[in-house]
A and B are shown apart, each in its own frame.
Chain A
Amino acid sequence: MRAPSLHFIALLAVAAIAGCAPNDAPAPPARIAVAANFAATASALRDAHESAGGGRIDVILGSTGSLHAQITAGAPFDAFLAADTARPDRLVAEHLATAESRFVYAIGRLVLWSPHIDLVDPAGDVLRGEGFTHLAIADPKTAPYGAAAHAYLEGAGLLGTVAARLVTGQSVAQAYQYTASGNADLGFVAVSQVAGRGSHFIIPDDSHAPLEQAAVLLTDHPDAQAFLHFIRHDPDARAIIAAHGYGLPNDETRPDARRR
């Protein structure tokens, strides 16, 4: 058999190179900075958005405070889902985000929770007794859930009763870890963290300032815009947020409201 001609080999090589080299550099995926408490929900939202044909999303987790510091220092994030409204508002004031893009995407709900099935009664009266050694709470000075728990205890006149038994975590995640590991008998945590295990008492929303979590757009990345629009308006997205234990803005169908 004749050896293939040089031309043919050259043609093959060109074809191979052309086939391998990307025609265009692919657009970078949208980078969404997400407050750690919303991590699991954000992953579920991303999967739903991608399977509905949305563009690729990279979720970047951190505490709201450190993500805000990073955005201020020029982090290449396209949108920010914070755990509060203060940091997004500050970004708008700093002209790093537009006011029109800001919206409340979820409302955190506080729960008194124990991994033990029979420790927390449906009215939360366990706090008035001696049935526990340690009660975990997030730092009221820095963590919104801690401030909410503190406001509830104060309003219910329980602060003095439990003060000596409080163990303070740096964030609501740490308060959850104290409680889930059994080092604290019960704790004030987020509904989104406990998903129906153990025993719990959902703290009434009117006993503390609302735990609103706001989102802002930081660039005009089309996939980031589409993702925020999805979170804000899509019924499936809102169902995912509610299923993870968050309340929704302007919404009468919150799970606990229905139960009551």
Chain B
Amino acid sequence: MLGAADLQALGVSLLLAAVTVIGLLACGLPLAWWLARRDGTGKAWLEAVIALPLVLPPTVLGFYLLLLLGKTGPLAAVGLPPLAFSFGGLVVGSMIYSLPFVVQPLITGFENIDQRRLDAAATLGAGPRDRFFSVALPGARSAIITGAVLGFAHTLGEFGVVLMLGGSLPGETRVASIAIYQHVESMDLASAHALSAVLVVISLVLLVPTYILRRRSRS
């Protein structure tokens, strides 16, 4: 049903989503843990900045990332390799774009951990690292899964940022959503429908177990 080019685009999408989620968990877990244990206006500012990608139109975000990461941008001016039009650039863009979807559930998950359990662990001699790995991480398990799945699904459906930043290079930056857009613009609706259906099925397969898991852990 899907042509070779569409399968390739789907592969780029899945790889991008996986790499983005791994990167976001690596940065987001320490960040969320740190934020969950803070209060005051500093925290409010940081949380607002994390939520910004929800508010900004994706094409606007993509346009400024293009200016930032392109060969005429400030990063190239200080000697960094230009990331626009590369898979690495899409990872950076997707991590920013999906940041709130991963970090916000993590913050909530960490905030819900009973402080008394952390205190008890401390009394038993567990250091901060030990408390994070043996109490906080297991305690926030369901939040971590929710954040990871939402980040994955959100990146899979990403369009505006990739459209501006990626340049639609086959095998590199042409993701499934861009391939669908190109099919629609070329009036090849059959291919667009087929690829869209595959995306919907993949997303449902991811989301349904997540919500079942969430309900179970709540009851």
Residues of A within 8 A of B (CB): 31, 36, 39-40, 43, 58-62, 66, 69-70, 72-77, 173
Contacts and interface: CB of A to CB of B under 8 A. Distances in A.
Contacts of B170: 58
Contacts of B70: 72-74
A72 B167 contact: no
Given A75-B84, A76-B169, A70 B185 contact: no
Given A39-B185, A61-B185, A75 B164 contact: no
18 contacts: A39-B185, A43-B186, A58-B170, A62-B163, A66-B59, A70-B85, A70-B167, A73-B66, A73-B67, A73-B72, A73-B84, A74-B71, A74-B72, A74-B82, A75-B84, A75-B85, A75-B167, A76-B167
Contacts of A73: 66-67, 69-73, 82, 84
Contacts of A39: 182, 185-187
Contacts of B185: 36, 39-40, 61, 173
- Secondary structure at the B interface, as helix, strand, loop or mixed, is loop
Contact of A60 (B71, B72, B168): B168
Interface string B71-83: 1110000000010
Interface residues of chain A: helix, strand, loop or mixed (majority): mixed
Contacts, number: 61
Interface residues of B, number: 24
Contacts of A69: 63, 66, 164
B132 interface: no
B187 A40 contact: yes
A74 B71 CA distance: 6
A76 B170 CA distance: 12
Nearest to B5: A58
A227 B71 CA distance: 27
A74 B84 contact: yes
Contacts of A43: 186, 188
Given A39-B185, A77-B167, 10 more contacts: A36-B185, A40-B187, A58-B169, A69-B63, A70-B85, A73-B69, A74-B71, A74-B72, A75-B84, A75-B85
